[in-house]
Structure 1
Amino acid sequence: MKNKLLCALALLGLGLGASAEPMVAPTACDRFVHKLPNMGKPLCQQAELVDSGARSVQGTPLYMRDVGEDNARLRVLVIGAIHGDELSSASVAMHWIRLAADEKLDLPQTVHWRFVPVLNPDGLLAQPPKRTNARGVDLNRNFPTPNWERDSAIYWQKRTGKDPRRWPGPKPISEPESRFLHDQMQSYKPHLIVSIHAPYGVLDFDGPSVPPSRLGRLYLDQVGIFPGSLGNYGGVHKGVPVVTIELPNSMRTPLDSEMRQMWIDLQRWMSARLSSEGAVAR
């Protein structure tokens, strides 16, 4: 009787083992490839995004990719999808990773690129996608600009009419996503930040240096400074130039040729301004 019981338990164990499949965590491409416009799986895999170790409110990894030598003279941080409903911004960042890895322009300074294509994965993966993160915070109003507690509340209440899509949050860098970007600015120490948005179809700029007059078909049209914004915090308060790209459409990317021209124009401006004006020394 004892032997029969042991055999039955062994067979049961084998059956359970055969039917149970190991849990495999989804990759960045599993999460994003079917969500983003103009984004095939080969391009996503070629981006070789890595888990930064940071997590969103809902526990989604914040992925990144470094391209270039660690000891390069210029460090450039490229951010996409700080607003989750601006899907095209993440796609352009992914296309630029390929260009950064494949193309070598004749620049006077070597460049170390750091890409964070999707800063707000919870907003991007929501159905439908939403501007804010999972706690309803507009991440681009959550950075610790001077007098944030007073100015951000006044702006949100009086200028936006308490628009829930633009709520700055309960306090500066209250969100894991904005804290991650804040920490990146402290540790990586970029000489330039490029933040990709949509859908206003213009080019904005904050901080020192002469701004680029155009990138591809986007022309400079500085739209102002907002409490808690990345441009205000990085460009005005910290003195790190912030180029803000507003793509024309949040659901469609520009043509591949236009994305490449924007990339070339950005590097030409970097070569003409950041190097000659001593941004590296600053």
Structure 2
Amino acid sequence: MRSCKDYSAKIPNVKPALCEAAQLQDSKARSVLGRPIWSRDVQAQGAPLRVLVLGGIHGDEMSSSSLVFHWIALAQTPPSDTPVPISWRFIPTLNPDGMFAKPARRVNARGVDLNRNFPTPNWARDARHYWEERTRRDPRRWPGTQPLSEPESRFLLEQIDNFKPNLIVSVHAPYGVLDFDGPSVPPSRLGRLYLDQVGIFPGSLGNYGGIHKGVPVVTIELPSASRTPQEAEMRQMWMDLLRWTTERLGSSASTTPASPDLPKSP
């Protein structure tokens, strides 16, 4: 798979074998420059919970994509004592154009910060004002001319609408904290990352999913954009996420899962 050679050359701590084992599926979505946006579903029979895990929404946060690849491997061999089965949808790199730019860039190929491009309430009023007044027109945080102006953000919205996740996990870097938006009691920690809710932003995924749509959004901020945590730490974060998800969301999930649109395996 050609993309695995490209990914392993760019993403820290992702060897070709790990990428190949992820068995990425072509979502049929394309970035601004026509690059595929890959995904992978790991399904559990009769699972009442669905979790969407996203990395690389900012192209220069390569460690976020790496963590998703490592978690795909862990999802394929779930602990035998998991009390509530979970079906997963992983998107390792939402912004491949930003990641493969030289140098890698936070924004996509049209210079839009995808994490400010989601249709939160009052986007037209708030997004540009925030960009001008709070970021002082920082080009790394340009929200675009209108919500969902970018194919990458439109694709993610389609995934939320079709997959109907009970939880969204968005992986970022490099602030080294854990953030949370939406209903439910947030996790206090994942591995060595502790909860530090930093607020919401116009057009952000946490604002759109957690506040507007009522789907809990866990935002992971890894400590480094260019280096991943140790293997044991990534596993501990995974186990902590499993524990919190089943304890906090498992009891409220329907015993008869919905029928989200799932792509066929290649």
TM-score between the two structures when normalised by the length of structure 1: 0.88
User: Is 1:137–1:168's contact at 8 Å kept on the other side of the alignment?
Assistant: yes
Structure 2: state its 5+ residue gaps: 259-266
1:10-52 deviation per Cα after TM superposition (whole angstroms, max 9, x unaligned): xxxxxxxxxxxxxxxx632032110000111111111111110
Distance 1:27 1:210 in 2: 42
Alpha-carbon spacing, 1:145–1:70, altered in 2? closer, same or farther (3 Å): farther
- Which residue in 2 is equivalent to 1:46? 21
Distance 2:2 2:156 in 1: 21
Distance 2:109 2:147 in 1: 16
Whether 2:141 is the aligned partner of 1:166: answer: yes
- Which residue in 2 is equivalent to 1:252? 227
| 2:215 partner letter | V
SS of the aligned residue for 1:262 comes to helix
Structure 1: state its 5+ residue gaps: 1-25
- Which residue in 1 is equivalent to 2:58? 83
| 2:21 partner letter | Q
| 1:238 partner letter | K
Deviation at 1:102, TM superposition (A): 2.0
User: Is 2:45–2:85's contact at 8 Å kept on the other side of the alignment?
Assistant: no
Work out the number of aligned pairs and report it. 256
SS of the aligned residue for 1:261 comes to helix
| RMSD (Å) for aligned C-alpha atoms | 1.3
* Structure number with larger C-alpha Rg: 1
SS of the aligned residue for 2:10 comes to coil
| 1:186 partner letter | D
* Runs of 4+ that moved beyond 4 A: 279-282
| 1:62 partner letter | I
Distance 1:109 1:70 in 2: 11
Alpha-carbon spacing, 1:189–1:70, altered in 2? closer, same or farther (3 Å): farther
User: Is 2:182–2:211's contact at 8 Å kept on the other side of the alignment?
Assistant: yes
| 2:93 partner letter | V
- Which residue in 2 is equivalent to 1:207? 182
Distance 1:109 1:173 in 2: 34
Alpha-carbon spacing, 1:105–1:159, altered in 2? closer, same or farther (3 Å): farther
TM-score between the two structures when normalised by the length of structure 2: 0.94
Q: 189-198 or 99-108: which moved more?
A: 99-108
- Which residue in 1 is equivalent to 2:110? 135
Distance 1:35 1:149 in 2: 36
> What is the aligned-residue identity percentage?
65
Greater helix proportion: 1
